[in-house]
Amino acid sequence: MKKLLLATIVIALFTVSCSTFKVTADYDKTTNFEGYKTFTLLPWNPHNDSVVSPFVKERILEALKNEMIKRGYFYVADMKKADLGVNSFVLLQEKSDYQYYSNYYGSYGYYYSSPWAWGGYYGNPYGSVQRVDYTEGTLIIDLFDTHQKKLIWQGIGIGEVNKHTTGKNVGKIISQIFFKYPVKYK
Amino acid (one-letter) located at 46: P
Domain containing 75 equals 2-97+134-178
Read off the DSSP letter of residue 21: -
Q: Is residue 92 part of a domain?
A: yes
∠ CA 162-167-171, nearest 5°, is 120
Residue 7: in which H helix or E strand, if any? helix 2-13
Specify if 30 maps to a domain.
yes
Residues 6 or more apart in contact with residue 33 via CB below 8 angstroms: 27, 152, 153, 181, 182, 183
Is the distance from CB of 124 to CB of 117 less than 8 angstroms?
no
66 belongs to a structural domain:
yes
Does residue 104 form part of some domain?
no
Q: What is the pLDDT along the chain (186 residues), one digit of tens a residue?
A: 444 444 444 444 444 444 478 999 999 999 999 999 999 999 999 999 888 889 889 999 999 999 999 999 999 999 999 999 999 999 988 888 888 776 655 544 444 555 555 555 555 556 777 888 888 889 999 999 999 999 999 999 998 877 654 577 888 889 999 999 999 987
Give the chain's length.
186
103 within some domain: no
CB burial readout 112-135, b (16+ within 10 A) else e:
eeeeeeeeeeeeeeeeeeeeeeeb
Note whether residue 38 is domain-resident.
yes
CB 106 within 8 A of CB 121: yes
What is the pTM assigned to this prediction? 0.73
CATH code, domain carrying 39: 3.30.160.670
Contact 71, 183 (CB under 8 A): yes
The partner residues of 185 in beta bridges, in order of sequence, read none
Contact 85, 144 (CB under 8 A): yes
Task: Report if residue 13 sits inside a domain.
Answer: yes
* Domains contained in the chain, number: 1
* 61 within a domain of the structure (yes/no): yes
